[in-house]
Amino acid sequence: MSVSTIPVGSTVSLQKLRLQGLIDALTNAGYQVIGPQIADGAVVYDELDSLEQLPLGVIDEQDGGRYRLERSNDAGYFDHVVGPHSLKRYLFPPQETLQQLHLKDGHWNVEPTPIHDKPVAVIGARSCDLHAVAIQDRVFLEGPYVDPGYRVRRERLFVVSVQCRRAAATCFCHSMKTGPRASRGFDLSLTELDDSFVIEVGSDQGGQILASVEGWKASSAAIVDQAKEQSVQLERTMKQRADADPAAGTSRPRQLDTHDVHDLLLNNLDHPRWEQVAERCLACANCTMVCPTCFCSSVTEVADLTGEHVRRERTWASCFTAEHSLLNSGVVRNSTKSRYRQWLTHKLATWIDQYDTSGCVGCGRCITWCPVGIDLTEEVAAIRETAS
C-alpha cells in the first residue's frame, strides 16, 4: 500500500522480518537507531542496524540481586523485559558538558554547549519506561527551570514501544498503574505475535515513518483484539501471581500497596526497619543509577593547563553518596540509614509533593541490580505491617 502517512490511532500488521524496513526507514530519516541487544550477559540498549542484533529467543530471569539470560524456544524478539538501561541515558546522559568558559581580556565568556548528537529513535521501550519519561519531563521541562539539553533531545526523540507479553518477578507496574500495556507516549507501538507485529500509530511522525516501510497492511479486527488480549492476559496473570504468593521468598512476584504510602513513610521516619535495611545496604548507588526516574547530578568544572578554558560537566550523582548531602556545615546525611530513607521517602512520598506523581514506575530495576537484593516492595510492606 502506498500512502504518505498512516493516521494516528490506526493499527497495521507487518511480517516479522519486515521490521528491518522500520530500522532502515528510521536510519534514512536521520535517526541514530537504538535497540535491545545482548552485551556482557544482559540485554542493554545499543546502536541497532540489523534485526539480527535483537535478542531473538532470549528471556531474562530476574529477582532480588539476580539477572540471568536464558534461551527459550517460544521467545520472540522482545520477550526479555527491562534491562539495566532505560531511555534516561538518551535524554539525560550520564556525562554531559553543559557549558564552556573562556577567559578573554580578563573576562570569562560563557558558551552553552550545542547539542551535536543525532536525533535518537529507541526501539523496545516498555510502558513503565514511557511513564518514567513522563515523570522526567515534569522534572526537566515543566518546573520553573527548563533543562536546555533535555529539551532538545526530548523534542527529537522517536519512541517505538513494545507491549510486554511476559513480566519478570521483579515487575510491579500493575501496582503503580504504569503498565503492562503502553497506551500513550510512543510514536509507534509494537505487539509481537507468532509471525507478525501489530503496530499502533501514536503520532503523526510515527505514521509517516511507518508508511514508508514496505509490506505493512491494515490489521483485521481479530488481529487487533488478539494483540490487546495479550496485555489484558498479562496484567491478569501479574495480579493473580502476586495475590497468590504475597509472602517474601524466592522469585516472589512483586506488588506494592500504594494506599496512603506517602503518609505511611513520612509518619514512620523513626521506624526500626530503616536501621535494619541499612545493615544490608552497601550505599553503592546501583539502585539510583538503574532507576529510570532518578535525576540527581553533580556539576564539576574542569580547567585545562592554562587555566583559561574550563568545561562545566554534569554527571549522574546519587543520594547514596556522602558528598551528595555536603553543605557548608558538613554532610547532612552521614549514615546509610539516612540515605536509604531519603531515597525511599523521596521516591514514594516527597516526590508526590514536588511533582504530583510517584517517583516509581514499578520497573523493578532497583531490586534486580541491588547487589544484596534489597527490595523496596518488601521494605514498604515491612513498615506497613508494624507502622505506628
C-alpha of 366 from chain center: 11
Answer yes or no: are the C-beta atoms of 25 and 229 closer than 8 Å.
Answer: no
- Residues 126 to 185 in contact with ligand SF4, rule: CB under 6 A: none
Q: Which of 366, 380, 381, 383 binds ligand SF4 (CB under 6 A)?
A: 366
d(CA 218, CA 211): 11
Site string for ligand SF4, 275-314 (x = CB under 6 A): ------xxxxxxx--xxxx---------------------
Instruction: Provide, rounded to whole angstroms, the least separation between the CB of residue 266 and ligand SF4.
Output: 17
Residue nearer to ligand SF4 on the CB measure, 83 or 206: 83
- 245, 253 in Cβ contact below 8 A? yes
> Among residues 30 and 371, whose Cβ is nearest to ligand SF4?
371
Q: 3-state DSSP call for residue 150?
A: helix
Cβ nearer to ligand SF4, comparing 62 with 191: 62
| Interacting residues with ligand SF4 between 321 and 350 (CB under 6 A) | 347
> x/- contact string, 241-280, with ligand SF4 (CB under 6 A)?
----------------------------------------
Number of neighbouring beta carbons within 10 Å of residue 29: 15
Q: In DSSP terms, which residues pair with 96 in a beta bridge?
A: 314
Q: HSE on the CB side for 89, CA within 13 Å?
A: 15
Residue from 110, 232, 269, 372 that binds ligand SF4 (CB under 6 A)? 372
Residue from 364, 378, 380, 381 touching ligand SF4 (CB under 6 A): that is 364
* Helix, strand, coil percentages, rounded to 5, for the chain: 35, 25, 40
Q: Does 363 contact ligand SF4 by CB under 6 A?
A: yes
Q: Which is nearer to ligand SF4, 198 or 376 (CB)?
A: 376
Residue 7 neighbours by CB under 8 Å, 6+ apart: 201, 207
Q: Give the residue, chosen from 201, 242, 361, 380, that forms a contact with ligand SF4 under the rule CB under 6 A.
A: 361
Kindly state the smallest distance separating residue 128's Cβ from ligand SF4, in Å: 7
> 271, 383 in Cβ contact below 8 A?
yes
Residue 273 Cβ, how far from ligand SF4 at the closest point, in Å? 13
Q: Out of 122, 190, 211, 360, name the contact with ligand SF4 by CB under 6 A.
A: 360
Which strands make up the sheet holding 95-104, listed edge to edge? 107-112, 95-104, 309-316, 297-303
* Shortest reach from residue 184's CB to ligand SF4, in Å: 18
197 strand-pairing partners: 14, 192
Task: Decide whether 246 or 371 has the Cβ nearer to ligand SF4.
Answer: 371
Reading the block at residue 87, the C-alpha cell is 531511555
Angle 320-353-183 from CA coordinates, rounded to 5°: 90
CB of 375 to ligand SF4, least distance (A): 9
Q: HSE (CB half, 13 Å, CA atoms) of 338? A: 9
Nearest approach, Cβ of residue 339 and ligand SF4 (Å): 8
Which are the contacts of 122, defined by CB distance < 8 A and separation ≥ 6? 34, 35, 45, 87, 90, 157, 158, 159, 160
Q: Where on the chain is the footprint of ligand SF4 (CB under 6 A)? A: 281-287, 290-293, 320, 347, 360-366, 370-372, 374, 376
